[in-house]
Structure 1
Amino acid sequence: MNQDPGEGRLQNSDPPNRGDFVQLLTKAQLGLLRYITTLVGNPEAASNILQNTNLLLWQKADEFEPGTNFDAWATTVAYWQVRAYGRDRKRDRHIFSDELVVQLADETDEGRDMDVTISLLRSCLQSLGDSSRELISMRYNLGLSIQQLSSRLDKSPSAVKGALLRARRALRQCIESKRLQAK
């Protein structure tokens, strides 16, 4: 089976063979360890939870649906393993509460999404025309106000606002398009 450009996905709908599954699982290890460590705050415990997660993922390998996102599936399994770990050690004061684990998981997902968005934004900036890219850079990298841009570019403030609006709209459409292509 071939891997598609979207990390962690298999192309066809046949059950994954063990080699493909091992490859996906191996690629996911560092991300899973970071995720689990973020949730439990203890690298040693995270390592143990990762081993339990790997064992469970291996046992459930036939349940993985090719064409879906392996990393998301594995992260969900890891999340529930962290919750089980917390439940089993509830009396230990050094274990994060369920509420904190949920909050950290949400923040980790948001951070991962932000990294993807930043990467897409950088790519989409390159597709803008030179004048739009320069305008965006002056506004957001240099922090110039509409009035300052207006003076520097010898354009009316409304013309600058309109050009910024069009450039931001083009960036948003590009990012949304690239997100849909990645699914």
Structure 2
Amino acid sequence: MAYSIFNHIQGKKGSRWAEFVRETGTENLMLVAIDAAKYTQKAMICTFYGDILVKPFEFDASMTGFEYLNKIIRSEKAKNGLKEVVVGIETTGHYYEDLVRRCHSDGYHVRTLNAATTAQERQALLNWSKTDNLDLMAIVQSMIHGRGTSNKLASGNVLTLQKLTRARRELVEERTETQNLIRMHMDHIFREF
């Protein structure tokens, strides 16, 4: 059966995720939710159906911590006979970037999720409290529903251009804000001009 990329409710992005899930088989998928942070990160490992294989655990935001995470993932993958690992990471500041790069280099499928997506998922579950464990559950739910993107992070010239563009945008905003302040003070002090 052929599936058109234009015939999915989430468009091209949703179509690719649905095709990946269909080809791999839901029973062969392991989902790893990671809540990235500056010093101590948290992860949880589940099946595609939401069955928890490894309860939430913490690991350092270092190479040693990532190796610890990787060891647990490989162990659970072998123990449960799963074929593919999908890692879901919430985009928090820049702390998630190293995780994304490492997971890509280790051959995992990575889905990055906007923090607003997990907040919406918590709201849908009628749970407004915010804890790391609830964030992990929201990340898993979001991945199951096909939310998030699978794009690789920019590198090389593209990354340099992104940084340059963002710096320019900030400078333009600062200049505009300064001009507006000058105009406001001129209007207050020298109204006749």
TM-score (normalizing by structure 1): 0.22
| Greater strand fraction, Structure 1 or Structure 2 | 2
Larger radius of gyration: 1
TM-score (normalizing by structure 2): 0.21
